[in-house]
């Protein structure tokens, strides 16, 4: 019942979210159709008893949110997964660099790093190795890896590996350079988040702490003024 392009987009988003075990594509499509349908039936029953412009607008907004709720959930999960991959990437590249310098090939180094890891990056590396084992070309498997995860740092690394393989650059040098760059980016992101903390804290401070502080400081004076006027 959904357009093929929408189904393909949901499948791509599901892949970037890691394809959770309890959420296959069929269940996601069913939820995308069922949620707004049930809400539409309940909303029509309610609107028949109390129709108004505000109710109709609220009903339309709820239907719209429910229809796109699966995409919102997948986008949030995929974003967190992409960030996790970015955090794991520098250490993984260090492991691969050590393995390559010890004499292993790039694919063997990737296999060892994937075996030592437990996060989403290790899962994606295992899948990439499986794709190559069934006949997928190395470049195609790497491109699929970058597209499947959507992680910017991983895409940058894949491009560097493809270029190194094309022009005959030493893989160990590429891994060392990329690991250093990724580690620098990770530190810069951590510093940026630390600088954003005061801005994020100021609003809870104004809404929660300052009113209480105002009551504590001004309360006794207000009580004295009220007592003076009443006396």
> Could you give all domains of the chain from N- to C-terminal order, each with its CATH number?
4-80 (no CATH), 83-188 (1.20.81)
Check: pTM over 0.75? Answer yes or no: no
CA distance 81 to 41: 36
**CA geometry: angle 140, 146, 152, nearest 5 deg:** 150
CA distance 12 to 74: 10
Of 115, 80, 109, the C-alpha closest to 171 is: 109
pLDDT digits (tens), the chain, 231 positions:
677 888 888 888 888 888 887 778 888 888 888 888 888 888 787 777 767 777 778 878 888 888 888 888 888 998 999 889 988 888 888 888 888 888 888 889 999 999 888 889 999 999 999 999 998 988 899 899 988 888 888 898 899 888 888 888 788 888 888 888 888 887 887 788 778 777 777 777 777 777 777 777 777 777 777 777 765
Q: Residue 229 belongs to what H/E stretch? A: helix 210-230
Distant-in-sequence contacts of 143-152, Cβ < 8 A, 24+ apart: 148/15, 148/16, 148/124, 149/16, 149/81, 149/82, 149/85, 149/120, 149/124, 150/16, 150/78, 150/82, 151/82, 151/85, 151/86, 151/89, 152/82, 152/86
What tokens appear for 27 in the block? 């269940």
pLDDT computed for residue 1 by the predictor: 66
CA distance 161 to 149: 17
**CA geometry: angle 120, 122, 126, nearest 5 deg:** 115
pLDDT computed for residue 231 by the predictor: 57
pLDDT computed for residue 62 by the predictor: 82
What tokens appear for 199 in the block? 């801005």
- DSSP for residue 205: I
pLDDT computed for residue 134 by the predictor: 92
Maximum Cα interatomic distance, the chain, rounded to a whole number of Å: 94
């Amino acid at each position: 019942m959904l357009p093929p392009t929408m189904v393909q987009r949901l499948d791509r988003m599901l892949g970037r979210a890691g394809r959770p075990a309890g959420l296959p594509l069929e269940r996601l499509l069913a939820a995308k159709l069922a949620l707004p349908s049930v809400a539409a039936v309940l909303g029509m029953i309610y609107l028949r008893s109390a129709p108004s412009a505000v109710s109709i607008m609220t009903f339309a907004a709820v239907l719209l949110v429910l229809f796109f709720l699966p995409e919102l959930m997948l986008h949030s999960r995929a974003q967190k997964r992409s960030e996790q991959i970015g955090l794991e990437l520098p250490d993984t590249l260090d492991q691969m660099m050590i393995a390559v310098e010890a004499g292993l090939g790039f694919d063997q180094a990737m296999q060892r790093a994937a075996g030592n890891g437990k996060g989403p990056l290790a899962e994606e590396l295992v899948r990439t190795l499986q794709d190559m084992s069934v006949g997928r070309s190395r470049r195609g498997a790497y491109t699929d890896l970058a597209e499947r995860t959507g992680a910017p740092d991983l895409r940058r690394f894949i491009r560097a590996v493809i270029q190194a393989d094309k022009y005959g650059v030493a893989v160990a040098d590429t891994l060392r350079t990329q690991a250093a760059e990724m580690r620098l980016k990770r530190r810069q992101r951590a510093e940026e988040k630390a600088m954003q903390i005061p801005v994020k804290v100021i609003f809870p401070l104004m809404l929660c702490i300052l009113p209480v502080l105002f009551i504590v400081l001004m309360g006794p004076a207000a009580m004295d003024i009220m007592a003076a006027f009443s006396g």
